[in-house]
């Protein structure tokens, strides 16, 4: 068995779904279990419907829902057999009926809770997985649909739920392998359910995580993440030009890159795969002939010290200075307790004698956090910052890396520096305005020459 996960752009249209069908068909002998994202930008649109409705702009919400329904009907029609169309059409209509009811409830309540957010955002994957199942049948495959909410179990932290691995693995192991022997199994990514059966989601970009949970649960030989780029690249293609494909990379390096902004992989994806030592591949559904990136358990020998540069925009840098002259003991604990209480993860930290600087990317609770911190410290927040993170598992053992980084950035103001405890990253903060210039300079410094065994 292999798991094949197709992201939003890979199923964004009838033509894209047909490409997916032909990719899967070519691998039917390996018993594929297919995990799909919502079609195109559907999750964003569903969240916009929820937001408009809760703001009382019901008409706008309904208009968006009608457009989204028509998009699904239009793209699904050509990929489904005439004889199956009544089933698929009524599934789409019924799901949008439920979306309209949820939108109505949101308009009445005037507030959107995390649980309702999950309820509404789950429809993208619920619908796409049905459409793809029937598209596979039209392509001549014996496909069956499995509702992921029956096999992936999480806690009830809505919009960011954490899987209950043991329970999910045992349900997956019982349900999927017998089906996969004779059928191509199709499931929606991202969605799951809490133990009380209420729908949850694994966080934005969470379909990758579903793929690796499923892979670990069924003991897959391989987990393939099919997306819209050739694999893990040496930099973010949305930020700089001239990036190259990384042919293979270690689990540790990939996890670090994902955590620090390489959107191509959800940060939690490698976890289940590492545990079961299942290789993960990143592949391009528009260019299936390209080998992609192989993520493996052992480290990859390479003459380049850096494998890739990740970056994350929209970061807030929080500088906290102790009101006393010197840091009293317990100062750090008090700081982190505040962030913890407001469920805000801290990405990077640096300390000096009297101050602590840290970065967060979720600023929804920042006001409350600042108010609490100001009870015992001075707080200054710099918005519109970006993290740049260079990753390579020989950074620590290679002399001269920091000096090369600083030389490349000699014209740029650096806000904060951190060499990760993981030993394989070097991260710092710059203003968003400086980000493209900083990444381009670093990319020229570290990838002017590349090891042909590791980079394309
Ligand atoms: P999917 O919908 O298939 O899950 P995503 O949009 O979540 O795809 O992730 C793929 C995108 O990640 C690419 O289009 C690319 O712009 C972005 N990306 C950012 N950093 C990297 C990187 N280092 N390597 C590859 N892609 C990256
Ligand atoms: N559809 C979800 C999202 O847009 C999950 C995913 O695509 O991985 O975040
Ligand atoms: Mg993604």
* Coil, helix or strand at residue 53: helix
The CA distance from 25 to 226, in Å, is: 14
Question: How far does residue 158's CA lie from ligand 2's centre (Å)?
Answer: 15
Instruction: Give mean pLDDT, residues 222-251.
Output: 97
450 vs 442: CA distance, rounded Å: 14
Least confident of 1-10, 75-84, 162-171, 394-403: 394-403
Q: For residue 259, how far is its CA from the centre of ligand 1 (angstroms)?
A: 13
Q: Of the ranges 29-43, 172-186, 322-336, 393-407, which one carries the lowest mean pLDDT score?
A: 322-336
Nearest ligand 2 atom to the CA of 8 is 7
- Ligand 2, CB within 6 Å, residue ranges: 7-8, 37-38, 43, 124, 189-190, 204-207
User: Could you tell me the CA-to-CA distances from 175 to 146, 171, 240, 424 in Å, in that order?
Assistant: 9, 6, 44, 39
C-beta of 237 in contact with ligand 1 (< 6 A): yes
Place 421 in a pLDDT band, splitting at 50, 70 and 90. low
Residue 422 has pLDDT above 80, yes or no: no
Instruction: Please write the tens of the pLDDT for every residue from 74-121.
Output: 999 999 999 999 999 999 999 999 999 999 999 988 999 999 999 999
Over residues 354-371, the mean pLDDT reads 93
Q: Is the CB of 443 under 6 A from ligand 1?
A: no
Please count the helices (runs of H) and the strands (runs of E) in the chain.
15, 17
In the predicted model, is pLDDT for residue 405 greater than 70?
A: yes
- The residue with greater pLDDT, 322 or 421, is 322
Residue 218, ligand 1, Cβ within 6 A: no
Q: What is the pLDDT of residue 133?
A: 98
pLDDT > 90? residue 257:
yes
pLDDT at 329: 78
- Quote the ligand 2 centre to 38 CA distance (angstroms): 6
pLDDT for position 419: 76
Q: How many whole angstroms from its chain centre is CA 199? A: 19
The residue nearest atom 5 of ligand 1, judged by CA position, is: 264
Please tell me the distance between residue 108's alpha carbon and the centre of ligand 3 in angstroms: 33
Choose which residue among 207, 225, 263 to substitute to test ligand 2 binding: the one with the highest number of ligand atoms within 8 A of its C-beta: 207
C-alpha of residue 7 to centroid of ligand 2, in Å: 7
**18 in helix, strand or coil?**
helix
Ordered alpha helix ranges (H), 261-378: 270-275, 331-341, 366-373
For residue 169, what are the CA distances in angstroms to 244, 245, 389?
36, 33, 33
What the chain holds in terms of domains, given with CATH numbers, is: 2-228 (3.40.1160.10), 308-446 (3.30.2130.10)
Distance 205 CA to ligand 3 centre (A): 4
Ligand 2 probe mutation, 5, 11, 38, 189, most atoms within 8 A of CB: 38
Ligand 1 center–CA 57 separation, angstroms: 33
- When pLDDT is averaged across residues 66-74 and rounded to a whole number, the result is 98
Closest atom of ligand 2 to CA, residue 7: 7
Overall average pLDDT of the 325-341 stretch: 84
Alpha carbon nearest to ligand 1 atom 4, residue: 7
Distance CA 379, CA 382 (A): 10
pLDDT band of residue 196 (cuts 50, 70, 90) is very high
**353 has a pLDDT exceeding 90:** no
- Count CB-CB contacts under 10 A for residue 168: 22
Residue 399 pLDDT > 70: yes
pLDDT for 420 beyond 70: no
Segment 397-426 mean pLDDT: 88
Q: What is the mean pLDDT of the chain?
A: 95
Report the share of the chain in percent with pLDDT over 90: 90
Query: Residue 327: what pLDDT?
Result: 59
- For the four alpha carbons of 71, 77, 79 and 84, in that order, the dihedral sign comes to positive
pLDDT in tens, 125-137: 999 999 999 999 9
Tens digit of each residue's pLDDT (9 = 90 or more) over 308-319: 999 999 999 999
Q: Which residue owns the Cα nearest ligand 2 atom 5?
A: 205
- For ligand 1, whether the C-beta of 233 sits within 6 Å is yes
CA-nearest residue, atom 9 of ligand 2:
204
- CB of residue 7 inside a 6 A radius of ligand 1: yes
Q: How far is the CA of 279 from the centre of ligand 3 (A)?
A: 18
């Amino acid at each position: 068995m292999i798991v094949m996960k197709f992201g939003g752009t890979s199923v964004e249209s009838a033509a894209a779904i047909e490409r997916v069908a032909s990719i899967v068909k070519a691998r039917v002998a390996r018993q594929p279990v297919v995990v799909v994202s919502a079609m195109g930008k559907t999750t964003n649109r569903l969240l916009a419907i929820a937001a408009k409705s809760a703001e009382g702009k019901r008409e706008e919400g309904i208009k968006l829902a009608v457009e989204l329904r028509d998009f699904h009907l239009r793209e699904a029609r050509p990929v489904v057999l005439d004889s199956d169309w009544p089933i698929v059409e009524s599934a789409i209509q019924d799901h949008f009926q439920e979306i309209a009811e949820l939108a109505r409830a949101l308009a009445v309540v005037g507030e959107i809770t995390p649980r309702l957010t999950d309820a509404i955002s789950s429809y993208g994957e619920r619908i796409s997985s049905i459409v793809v199942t029937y598209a596979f049948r039209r392509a001549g495959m014996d496909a069956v649909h499995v509702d992921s909410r029956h096999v992936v179990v999480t806690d009830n932290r809505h919009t960011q739920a954490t899987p209950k691995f043991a329970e999910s693995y045992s349900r997956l192991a019982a349900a999927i392998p017998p089906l996969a022997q004779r059928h191509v199994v199709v499931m929606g990514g991202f969605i799951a359910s809490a133990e009380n059966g209420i729908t949850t989601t694994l966080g934005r970009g969470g379909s990758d995580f579903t793929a690796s949970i499923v892979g670990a649960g069924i003991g897959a030989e391989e987990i393939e993440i099919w997306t819209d780029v050739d694999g893990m690249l040496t930099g973010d293609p949305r930020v700089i030009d001239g990036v190259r494909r990384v042919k293979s990379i270690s689990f540790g390096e990939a996890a670090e890159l994902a955590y620090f902004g390489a959107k191509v992989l959800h940060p939690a994806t490698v976890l289940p795969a590492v545990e079961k030592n299942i290789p993960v591949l990143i592949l391009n559904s528009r260019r299936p002939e390209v080998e992609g990136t192989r993520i493996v358990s052992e480290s990859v020998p390479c003459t380049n010290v850096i494998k890739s540069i990740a970056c994350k925009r929209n970061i807030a840098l929080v500088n906290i200075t102790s009101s006393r002259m010197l840091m009293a003991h317990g100062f750090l604990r008090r700081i982190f307790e505040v962030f913890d209480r407001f469920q805000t993860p801290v990405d990077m930290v640096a300390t000096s004698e009297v101050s602590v600087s840290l970065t967060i990317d979720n600023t929804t609770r920042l006001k409350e956090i600042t108010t609490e911190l100001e009870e015992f410290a001075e707080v200054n927040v710099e918005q519109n910052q970006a993290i740049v993170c260079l990753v390579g598992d020989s950074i620590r053992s290679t002399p001269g890396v920091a000096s090369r980084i600083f030389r490349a950035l000699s014209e740029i103001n650096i806000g904060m520096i951190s060499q990760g405890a993981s030993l394989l990253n070097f991260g710092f903060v710059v203003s968003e305005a400086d980000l493209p210039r900083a990444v381009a300079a670093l990319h020229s410094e570290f990838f002017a020459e590349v090891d042909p065994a590791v980079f394309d």
